[in-house]
Amino acid sequence: MSNTSENPKPSSSSAKMTLKTSDNELFEVEEAVAMKFCTVKQYFEDEKDSDVAARGSTTVIPLPNVHSAVLATLISYGKKLPQSNAVADNHEEEETKKKERKKYEQGLLKNLMPGELLDLISAANYLDFKEGLEFFNQALADHIQNKSVEYVRKFFGIKNDYEPHEEEKYREEYAWAFEGVDED
């Protein structure tokens, strides 16, 4: 089952690439979007160098560390970003696009389970998808900002390596920082 990109606007480069996820799903993605994943870009450029004839044919790029659900979200986010090869819009068009993107981003975050954020960040990091990382890192920061230390540990799967007496000392010293924390 492959996921075809349904962008009706003709772009300057309608070359498509196929990405294969860890659970063996194939995603057909426009080159412009796939190039935002720098790891993919690197792979593609390496392939280009090694076999000139292979250009144009559908190279399947394996992404063994990325699950299909995660890749789908990242691709979807990537499509919404301003394309680097797009014609410059006037101020009004830019503003409408910005508003659209904001709405999309809010919708995306609302439907996301907090745990999925970590998967998205881990994948975006593996793919070297800078804009995605910026966005999801910010979303994660917004999520944990009012949470307690215990919640954060559980969320990240981190073990508390402080000795009880050390922790007590710090809590006292920084007591004022622990006010206003959400219930877990």
Partner 1 sequence: MANLMGDKKASFLRLVEERALSKEEKKKLQDALVPYIPKDCISNVLLRLPLESLQRSRFVCKPWYTIINSLKFIDDHLERSESVLIFISSIKEENLYPFSTRPFAVEKPNTFSVEAKLLQSESVPVLVQPNINPTLKYYIKFLEINNGRSKIGEYSVSCTGHIRAACNGLILLENKLKKGGLIVVNPVTRKLISLPLGTLCPADKESYGFAFCTVTGEYKVVHLFQDELRYFGCEILNLGTRVWRAVNGPSFGLLRWLGCLPVLAIGALHWVPNIDSSDYLVSIEVDKERFHTIPLPKSSRYHDRIVEMRGFLSFVTHEEENQIGVWILKGLGELWTRQLSIKTGCILDMVPLYSLRIKGDMIFKRDEDGSFYAYDFQLQVMRKIEMEQERLKMSGMYHPHVNSLISWSSRERSQDVFY
Should residue 109 be labelled a site residue for partner 1 when binding is judged by CB under 8 A? no
Nearest approach, Cβ of 138 to partner 1 (angstroms)?
6
- Site for partner 1 contains 177 (CB under 8 A): yes
- Nearer to partner 1 by C-beta: 47 or 119? 119
Is residue 115 at the binding interface for partner 1, with CB under 8 A as the rule?
A: yes
Tell me: does residue 160 bind partner 1 (CB under 8 A).
yes
Per CB under 8 A, 141 contacts partner 1? yes
Residues in 45-84 that interact with partner 1 by CB under 8 A: none
In this complex, which beta carbon is closest to partner 1, that of residue 69 or of residue 152?
Answer: 152
Report the C-alpha gap between 168 and 184 in whole angstroms.
Answer: 20
Report the residue from 8, 10, 56, 180 that binds partner 1 according to the rule CB under 8 A.
180
Question: Which positions touch partner 1 (CB under 8 A)?
Answer: 115, 118-119, 121-122, 125, 133, 137-138, 140-142, 144-146, 148-149, 152-153, 156-162, 167, 170-171, 174-178, 180-181
